[in-house]
Amino acid sequence: MDIKTFAQNIINWQKQHGRHTLPWQNTKGPYRIWLSEVMLQQTQVATVIPYYQRFLKRFPSINDLAAAPLDTVMPYWAGLGYYARARNLHRCAQQIVSRHQGRFPTDAATLATLPGIGRTTAAAIAAFAFNEITPILDGNVKRIFARYFGIATPLNRSQTEKQLWVQAEQLLQVAQRPIDMAAYTQGLMDLGAMICSRTKPDCGACPLQQHCYAFQHQQQDRLPVRAATKKKPKRSKAALVLQAGSEIFLQQQAAPGIWGGLWSVPTFDKVVHLEHFIDQHLSVSQPNIQSLATIKHSFTHFDLTIQPVWVRIEEAPATLPVSSTKKRAWVPVTNLTAQALPAPIKKLFLSQEFIQLATKSA
């Protein structure tokens, strides 16, 4: 195993075979790099690209983002998931403007103290924008290291994580100087995404093949070791789709929470609770109540099934007994999908069943 040439092999491969045309590449601007790195956390490149481009068009600078209200920011993140990232992005922008005069810190250690920027994200920003010699360790890199070094313990163990950071630092310590950190960092990301994939890695095209433990011992399908997976719990909610005239009732979800800052229809733990709410607080006849098709949505830690119930009333009530901590609004049917909606609620509003029902009753 020759770790002295590891970094240079990655750099050479990236320059010849890696990705060079992604929207956030070919720039030293830390704002664009930071935005892309946060969006790419637990999200695939193909999904991120249109969000990144739309977000950047609306908020072209750190000052634009910091000055915007969070309610203005959230619609540009809606559907991308992991919404704490958007809230932290906004907080981080405000701190950079207020505490750092709108300039990004140039070192990973300081960057890592900002909201939503962990060690790997900080290192990526520092490497791409400022060429700082500092290691990254995202999911792709962990997989590469586990195979290259033959690490046979699950990656989610804290001891394995520490071992991987040590290896990452050592590879840079022994690397030939000067190091093109942008090419090295991007190369690790590209190699994990394009070659050293989770299943069916293309070892024949890998620049590390000669000294890779997994390749030498034919352990590619066994490394990295996967921790025992727990079956995701299943949860269910009932959703009240309340229509008055041509408007639908929405309320902003409290933060923190999986949908914090987004707008949604009211939800209940059980359909019977929703039905009780209708009986107690809404004057409506049975023909104006209809169950819609259930919606299934998978989160990282659980699977959610939503049972929407559409209810039409004659006019919007002055008050509704929902949580007083939430903002509320009656939104025109034609303007629903322009709101910052959770993905399953947007899916509901885009369904033909809802569109036909809502427009017919408007």
Q: Two tokens at 340? A: 């910052």
Beta partners for residue 235, in sequence order = 304
List 37, 247, 275, 353, catalytic entry:
37
Question: Which CA distances in Å does 86 have to 21, 73, 346?
Answer: 25, 8, 18
Torsion angle of the four alpha carbons 41, 47, 53, 56, in this order, in degrees rounded to the nearest 10: -30
Active site residue 275: no
Give residues with Cβ within 8 angstroms of 78, minimum separation 6: 262, 339, 340, 341, 342, 343, 346
Beta partners for residue 257, in sequence order = none
* Cα–Cα distance, 295 to 147 (Å, whole number): 39
The residue count for the chain: 362
305 with 296: CB under 8 angstroms? Answer: yes
236 with 159: CB under 8 angstroms? Answer: no
Q: Which residues are known catalytic residues?
A: 37
